[in-house]
Amino acid sequence: MKVLKCDLCDETAQGETFEDWMKALRPHYMEAHADVMSSHNKEDGMKWMLDNKARFDAA
């Protein structure tokens, strides 16, 4: 089980897989960072996912 912080604040979430971790963080992102989430276009969103996957894999 990996525990990582949100890339925008100190909130943490845990997951066995990257997908589990993202599911655990989704409610936090939608509530605390809705402005950032809604401002991403598709290309930005893909880069953000790849960056977070790299962070998860490195942990």
pLDDT, one tens digit per residue, over 2-55 is: 999 999 999 999 999 999 999 999 999 999 998 887 777 889 889 999 999 999
Question: What is the residue range of 20's domain?
Answer: 2-58
pTM of the model: 0.84
Closest of 36, 38, 29 to residue 11, by C-alpha: 29
Overall domain count for the chain: 1
Neighbours of 28 (CB within 10 A): 15
Give the helix/strand (H/E) hosting 13. strand 12-15
Q: Is 15 helix (H, G, I), strand (E, B) or coil?
A: strand
Per-residue pLDDT, 40? 76
- 29-48: b or e for each residue (b if 16 or more CB lie within 10 Å)? beeebeeeeeeeeeeeeeee
